[in-house]
Amino acid sequence: MKCAKLINKEVKIVDVEKPVFGNKKGAIIKVSGCGLCGSDIVKINHSTKENEDKVVLGHEITGIIEDINVEIKGFKEETPFKKGDIIAMGHHYPCFECKYCNHKNYSMCHTFKNSNIFPSGFSEFVYADENHLKYTVYKKNEALTNEEFSFLEPLSCCIRAIKRAGLELNKDNSNYNCLVIGLGSIGILMAQGLKVFKTNTFGLDTDKNRQEFIKKFGIYFRDDIKYDIIFMTSGSNKALETALNLIDFGGKIVVFSSIEGDLGYKNNDIYYKELDILGSYSPSPDDLYLSSRFLKEKKVNVQNLSTNYKLDNLARAIDDTKSRKILKAYITI
């Protein structure tokens, strides 16, 4: 079967063996498509010849269960999975028993970090084990296309960041002015998620086209106020200074992107303004569940956010994403 692999730091489509159960329990999923995440590009850029064979590209998967050898329900689902179910899935799950899980830092769990789909989201088939099925896989409803449901995992990451900031669903959070800096696809998801959490939501990007695009979701930028919580979805070093200039006293800055270089927030700004600087990395099973609800109930609109590419054109999709020609790529298999 076809599968994307890193070879000499270049993405190549190669033939590999189709995954099989062997003596393992789980499901074989025929991949319909997979979203291209910014973290995939980071993995490519930071790979070396020594570690590239361990890099798994693609994790925002939609597909159909081709075969399953276990009876199991998904997280908060009412019926077991079966052959023919159209699904979307995440790629990591925690152990729920370690120190990190007990502290609700699920994405720091060793089990979480070491679990993954096999062999790659950008392949014709993947194997999902029992815990993937139990904690990360959700059935699609008729209201969504496969492409729209591929936003399950990235939206869940945004929900995790919003909850990390101390915001609670179904509460009136209108006393919080929240700003998203960086309006790529993740920034757009984050801003819409904040609106579901009923905050006063604003967005900022140096790209005028993206600043204009976010208005379709009822999101604008104001330079005459300070912000209580700022979500950093930009990978630009300059965004750090922007955040420090716009954050209010006692505010929170949620770091949701990596940047180049060894830069950070200023000690004295954190001290004298009593700022909270938080990191948020990846979702818990509950965040994936909320994401599936938000998408199925159309609380978050992901229509036309991504551009379609065939698997054989994955390298071009990566180049177009890096050059900001598109907001996001969805790779059809």
Residues 87-125 pLDDT 10s? 999 999 999 999 999 999 999 999 999 999 999 999 999
Give the pLDDT band of residue 197 (cuts 50, 70, 90).
very high
Q: Delimit the domains of the chain by residue range.
A: 2-156+282-332, 166-279
What pLDDT does 45 receive? Answer: 86
pTM of the entire structure? 0.96
Residues 13-35 pLDDT 10s? 999 999 999 999 999 999 999 99
Quote the mean pLDDT of the chain: 95
Residues 281-317 pLDDT 10s? 999 999 999 999 999 999 999 999 999 999 999 999 9
50 pLDDT above the threshold of 80 = no
From CA 29, how far away is CA 330, in angstroms rounded? Answer: 18
Q: Do domains 2-156+282-332 and 166-279 have the same CATH topology?
A: no
CATH 3.90.180.10 fits 2-156+282-332, yes or no: yes
CATH 3.40.50.720 fits 166-279, yes or no: yes
Angle at 12 between CA 7 and CA 17, to 5 degrees: 95
Supply the DSSP string of 248-288, one letter for each residue: EEEEEEEE-S--SSS----HHHHHHTT-EEEE-----HHHH
> How many other CB atoms are found less than 10 A from the CB of residue 19?
21
Q: Which two tokens stand for residue 116?
A: 């993954």
52 pLDDT above the threshold of 90 = no
As a whole-number percent, the residues of the chain with pLDDT over 90 amount to 91
248 pLDDT above the threshold of 80 = yes
Q: How far apart are the first and last CA of the chain?
A: 11
Give the pLDDT band of residue 9 (cuts 50, 70, 90).
confident
CB-based burial label for 208 (10 Å; 0-12, 13-18, 19+)? exposed
What pLDDT does 215 receive? Answer: 96
> How many other CB atoms are found less than 10 A from the CB of residue 43?
17
* Sequence letter at residue 163: K
Instruction: Look up tokens 């990978």; give the residue.
Output: 235
